[in-house]
Chains A and B, each alone.
Chain A
Amino acid sequence: EPEVTQTPSHQVTQMGQEVILRCVPISNHLYFYWYRQILGQKVEFLVSFYNNEISEKSEIFDDQFSVERPDGSNFTLKIRSTKLEDSAMYFCASRLSRGEKLFFGSGTQLSVL
């Protein structure tokens, strides 16, 4: 089965630093997502991206966050100035169409110290 690939699997950063989390969605998919899961809590929607623009975002996704699809294969999440509370597992996901299932990557564990 095709996979969504995320790198790195673990990232440790100092508070205030910028981080970029990288994802390679499934090649023919058109809808891209970032979710996060703080330890012990539920999976939370951050942002969806379609047709080279943000289609929907949550209240978590403030000005510190941005997403980009710089080429035909990568989809990145940037956090400009990390805070302690940004520590979480970040999941990338993609799907072919609105009615299809989401394929999730295995996640990037972000630890902000």
Chain B
Amino acid sequence: AQSVTQPDIHITVSEGASLELRCNYSYGATPYLFWYVQSPGQGLQLLLKYFSGDTLVQGIKGFEAEFKRSQSSFNLRKPSVHWSDAAEYFCAVGAEGTYKYIFGTGTRLKVLA
């Protein structure tokens, strides 16, 4: 069965520091992979997605993620975090043969001034 694991529930970084949020998935075939961000009281906004091709994908707001098949990972990175990046980040997986996306439990990012 498909599953998504985000091992870090909370992460705190200082503004200007680099960021990496971890995501591991379980699925037999090549999945579609997504990162969404949710600001307090808001809906889910897509940061980036991976379907195929180049394993390093660029997203909005300066985020990028790298698909590593050997590690079943799709970690989200940003070289320099801004205070406005404080939010909850969700990794999600979808795949052929299913209509749904499976979401991870989320990582709440706190940014220190």
Q: Which residues of B contact A48 (CB under 8 A)?
A: 99-100
Those of A46-82 within 8 Å (CB) of chain B: 48, 50, 55-56, 58
- Flag if A43 contacts B103 (CB, 8 Å): yes
Q: How far is the CB of A31 from chain B (nearest CB, A)?
A: 7
User: Across the A-B interface, how many residue pairs have beta carbons closer than 8 Å?
Assistant: 50
Q: Which residues of B contact A105 (CB under 8 A)?
A: 43
Evaluate whether A50 and B105 lie within 8 angstroms (CB atoms) in the complex, with A99-B51, A101-B49 already known. Answer: no
Those of B83-101 within 8 Å (CB) of chain A: 90, 92, 96, 98-101
Give the interface size bracket for B toward A: 20 to 34
- Flag if A43 contacts B43 (CB, 8 Å): no
Evaluate whether A101 and B34 lie within 8 angstroms (CB atoms) in the complex, with A42-B106, A107-B43 already known. Answer: yes
Q: Give the CA-CA distance A80 to B34 in the complex, in Å.
A: 33
In the complex, B46 has a CB within 8 A of chain A:
yes
Those of A81-113 within 8 Å (CB) of chain B: 91, 98-99, 101-107
A contacts with B, residue count (CB < 8 A): 23
Q: Which residues of B contact A55 (CB under 8 A)?
A: 99
Those of A12-60 within 8 Å (CB) of chain B: 31, 33, 35, 41-45, 48, 50, 55-56, 58
Q: Which residues of B contact A101 (CB under 8 A)?
A: 34, 46, 49
Q: Which residues of B contact A104 (CB under 8 A)?
A: 36, 43-45
- Flag if B100 contacts A42 (CB, 8 Å): no
Evaluate whether A31 and B99 lie within 8 angstroms (CB atoms) in the complex, with A43-B90, A104-B43 already known. Answer: yes
| Closest residue of B by beta carbon distance from A102 | B101
Q: Give the CA-CA distance A94 to B89 in the complex, in Å.
A: 20
Q: How far is the CB of A82 from chain B (nearest CB, A)?
A: 22
Q: Which residues of B contact A102 (CB under 8 A)?
A: 34, 46, 101
Which residues in B have some Cβ–Cβ distance to A below 8 Å? 32, 34, 36, 42-46, 49, 51, 90, 92, 96, 98-106
